[in-house]
Structure 1
């Protein structure tokens, strides 16, 4: 499953939103990836996510595979788009 989302945090994907995102991702059983331009990151790795350098207004694709994939895309998409 995939979902395209846009970064709405004013400072982009910096430490605070990335921390919230990783904490939520770790609670999920599915394998989750964030795809940005030509790079893919493990959604459960803070360092991997921060290396993507995602800024406000940029879009990414969230990919999830596993028993709670739909929940993963909904939950993490909302965090990414700052709709918590």
Structure 2
């Protein structure tokens, strides 16, 4: 199991298109991937769950990944949050 705290840096947070990209990335992996913020935890593979979190720029989230490809999953999610979402 991997647990990592990440800060959302893109202007609109994880709303609409960025949330969809996050969910698409999470769904590429077999591992269970969860997002935790302020005591609430949702499945990162669910667009409704991610959108319901209302994650804005500057907020810290905890990513919890458990499964056979967790190392690859955390790398892809970190790259998405720290690089790809900032480019769009």
Question: Whose helix proportion is higher, 1 or 2?
Answer: 2
Query: Structure 1 length normalisation: TM-score?
Result: 0.93
Please list every run of 5 or more consecutive structure 2 residues that lacks an aligned counterpart in the other structure.
none
2:71 is paired with a residue whose SS is helix
Aligned residues between the structures: 83
2:73 matched to which residue of 1?
Answer: 72
Indicate yes or no: 2:35 matched with 1:40.
no
TM-score scaled by length of structure 2: 0.89
Unaligned runs of 5+ in 1: none
RMSD between superposed Cα atoms in Å: 0.9
In the TM superposition, 1:11-26 aligns within 5 A as 11-26=12-27
Runs of 4+ in 1 over 2 A off after TM superposition: none
